[in-house]
Structures are given as C-alpha cells and as structure tokens.
Chains A and B, each alone.
Chain A
Amino acid sequence: MGSLLEVKALTKAYDGKQVVRGINFSVQEGEILGYIGPNGAGKSTTIKMIIDVEKKDNGEIFYCGEKIGNIMKVYKKAIGVVPQEIAIYEDISAYDNVKFFCSLYGHKGDDLKERVKEALEFTGLWEHRKGLPAKFSGGMKRRLNIACSIAHSPKLLFMDEPTAGIDPQSRKHIMESIKILNARGTTIVYVSHYMEEIEALCNRIIIMDHGEIIEDMEKSQLKLKFEKLGCKNLEDIFLRLTGTALRDGEE
C-alpha cells in the first residue's frame, strides 16, 4: 500500500498571521488517520486547502503521485468531505439533499437512486428521508451531513469533527459506520477533539499545534513512546504535547 495523498510544505496565512506553517505529511491507502490538535491549531484550514476550497500560499499536494492541480476533475471525484459546519439545504428533504449532492459527481438514474438509498440507510435516516432537515435534531443533521458526503463512494474521505455536539447513540452509530466504510476500502482522515474516538478508530495519529505538526506516528508507537513519561492514554499525551493553556483567540 502506497501514499494516496502527500502534502508538502503547505503554508497559509490569514491577514499576515501564519495559520499553517509549512507542514508535510502523507495519507496511506486504506488507513484511518487521526488528525488532532487544540482549537485554532489549523486543522480545518489544512483540510480546506487540501480539498481545494481555500487557496494555499505555498506548498504542493499530490494525489496518487500527481499534483492535484493537474488532475483536478479526477481528484475531486475521488474525494469526499464531511465539513465541520453542517452543510445541507434545510428547505429540501433529506432525500433531495443526498440526491442533489451525489448527482454533482455525475451519477444519475437508477445508479443515483441506489446510492442515495444506501447512504440514507447507512446513516440511519431512510425512515426520515422525506423530512425537512430544518426539523431534524442535531444528531440527525450531523448524520445527513455525512450521508451527503459518502453517497458517491469517495476513495478518500475527510471528516472534520463529524460528531460535534451529538448524543452517545448517534455517536456510536457514526463510529460503527466509519469502521464499515474503512473496511470497504475508503481511506479516511479523521479530525476530532474526542480522544476516545481517535483511540477507537485510528491506526496513525498526527498532532498539530500552532500550525505545525508536532507528532506523526503509529498509534501504538505513540503510546509506547509516552508511556515512559507517565501518560496513560491519548488525552494525557495530547495535553503533555500541547500544554494546558486555553486557546482563546491567541496570536
């Protein structure tokens, strides 16, 4: 298994403030990569640059060894993204939401219908397919946000805090779904603040802080390395590496 995605010397500044500082990492085919860091570390910005939503200041991104700029159409069809902020139309049905976004990938007819059904069943929303998302609970919206991102069967899926603010039931459902997706061959980059989720899901973990990658290691190795320093779990390791100071709009 080789690198599916490779990020080299990626940088981004907003209004003169460096948010991502020349980071390098790669995503291996078939893995679930945990991408963690305190609020404002630059995780979402990194992902937005990788998915071509935000312009990068510098650096290169390669998909299957090719610069994404050269294979944009193929690349865009191959990726899926669950955005941190719920991105759905509240005024059309759950079914229409998934159908619309999936159709942007060129699917139509029976193939499209089949995909929409599968994504809605997968996220436990099939019974609510006719409902308007405006009337959905937070957990249902989060699951619809996922359904809209997976119906076209992406090879590489970015999930930016897909479980923020939902109950344990929905969370458990989403966790199970991610494992199934991965078993079916989807490579996943998983951003979260829930260390238990990262522990349960990921093979490898990247820790980002102040726009830099401060650790990039197999989960087992990471735990081994910090066990000697008295860190019992991932949360201990995270706090040891990033400190305990609050990150409220710091410069």
Chain B
Amino acid sequence: MSDDIKELIRMANQIATFFQSYPEEEAVTGTAEHIRDFWTSAMRARLGRYASDNGNGVHPLVMQAMGRLQQAA
C-alpha cells in the first residue's frame, strides 16, 4: 500500500469516526458530503478505486459513502 493511499484512508476514517455517532443514514450522508465538499476529484477517485478494489482498512461508513459518491458521479 503506498503512503499516499494510506494517508487518504486515514483521513477518510477520521471523518467517518466523527459521523459514526449519528444514525447510520445520516452518518453515511455526512461522510459522503464531507468528502465531496472538501476533497479534490483526484483524491476521491483514488480512494474510490481502492474502496471498490479491496477496501482493506477502510471504515465501513467510508465504504458506503464512496459507493454513494460513485453513484452520484
């Protein structure tokens, strides 16, 4: 795993950790919107690819959020 993707996973997981206090639906939305609003498309794409390829170490909320972002895209 490259440093770069590790960093993205860490950032995304941190975001999910904040939102996980909320009911699942809101948590997924919160995480997805945060990543959409603050990340560049290249970053989103990289994490999205990783999530759909294998997703090891990625917070379950992030997995769902990435799925949702990819649908929207």
| Chains A and B belong together in one complex | no
